[in-house]
Structure 1
Amino acid sequence: MERVGKNQLRVRKWFGVRKEIAAIRTVCSHIQNMIKGVTKGYRYKMRSVYAHFPINVTLQDGGRTVEIRNFLGEKIVRRVPLPEGVTAALSTAQKDELIIEGNDIQLVSQAGSLIHFFV
């Protein structure tokens, strides 16, 4: 890996076999995702859907913890701590929508899957 210019980076592999070239492509994809995350950021939107018992989603610690109440009428309060660098917010435009934002696509998607897993 070498820096070619001010805004260019070159990743090379000479005489690489298939798995080594695949690893190089993975490194390039991670670098592109990091650049996009720092410049634009990543945003996932999740909606809570219910038929009879309305699910209440609240935020604690300034969007660092998501609390899910009344899931299927249960009295259990589910608390989902979000990874470092990921914040959550409730949407004002759409009812029952949770917006998850951050710079790292892997952490943002992991936060969405953690919320889905805890429910």
Structure 2
Amino acid sequence: MEAIIELPKEMQASMQGNRLVLKSPKGESSKEFKALGISIKAEGNKVRISAAKDSKKEKKLVNSIQAHVKNLAKGLEKEYAYRLSIVYAHFPINVTKKENKIEIVNFLGSKKPKQALIVGKTSVEIKGKEIIVKGADKEHVGQTAANIEQLTRLKGKDRRIFQDGIFITAKE
């Protein structure tokens, strides 16, 4: 079983141990792959993924790695972006960015600030009642948006009544 992925002409691929590194004029992105029985070779702007056997397990691994490589390349061409909306009824939620963390203050009137980690090389912009999370790595952008959304998750409350929070509204 073998899969060959053609990258755009301006993009170059290289292997550093188990880590695949993609470079383009817009930036650089990398991911580590540890799969037994799977070999990954980078040749210029092509990535070759091959398996020693043709079993179902190896086919699944090859297809998963192929999808990860395509996501890395797509992220370098056009950044992934998640839009989150800040929703509140009575207590205004204050959201600020501090280094590699997002801080939420006054959620449902609480005094203690809550913090969410910004994963990897993800950038976060706060504009009024909207938060925009951008980056080249789909997994890091999605995890950062999920971290922010999880901070305002309410346990043991009726969501029809307590509708305050920060919610993912769009994925681009």
TM-score range, shorter chain: 0.7 to 0.9
1:37 maps to amino acid: G
Question: Is 1:18 matched with 2:48?
Answer: no
Partner AA of 1:60 in structure 2: K
Normalized against structure 1, the TM-score is what? Answer: 0.82
Matched, 1:59 2:97: yes
Unpaired segments ≥5 residues, structure 1: none
Name structure 2 gaps, 5 residues minimum.
Answer: 1-39, 153-172
Q: Distance in 2 between matches of 1:76 and 1:15?
A: 55
Read off the aligned partner of 1:86 and give its amino acid letter: T
Separation in 2 of the partners of 1:103 and 1:8?
A: 19
Report the TM-score when normalising by structure 2.
Answer: 0.59
Query: 1:1-119 to 2 correspondence within 5 Å?
Result: 1-2=40-41, 6-13=44-51, 15-61=53-99, 64-91=100-127, 95-119=128-152
Q: Displacement of 1:118 after TM fit?
A: 2.2
In structure 1, C-alpha distance between the alignment counterparts of 2:75 and 2:144, rounded to whole Å = 15
Q: Aligned partners of 1:37, 1:60: CA distance in 2, in Å?
A: 25
Task: Give RMSD over aligned pairs.
Answer: 1.9
Please report how far the alpha carbon of residue 12 of structure 1 lies from its aligned counterpart in structure 2 after TM superposition. Answer: 3.4
Q: Write the distance in 2 (CA, Å) between the matches of 1:26 and 1:84.
A: 21
Aligned to 1:11, the other structure's residue is in SS state strand
Q: Give me the identity figure in percent.
A: 31
Structure with the largest fraction of strand: 2
Deviations 1:48-94 (A, max 9, x none): 11122121112223xx3211111011111112231231110013xxx
Distance 2:137 2:53 in 1: 32
Label 1:76 to 1:24 Cα distance change in 2 as closer, same or farther (>3 A): same
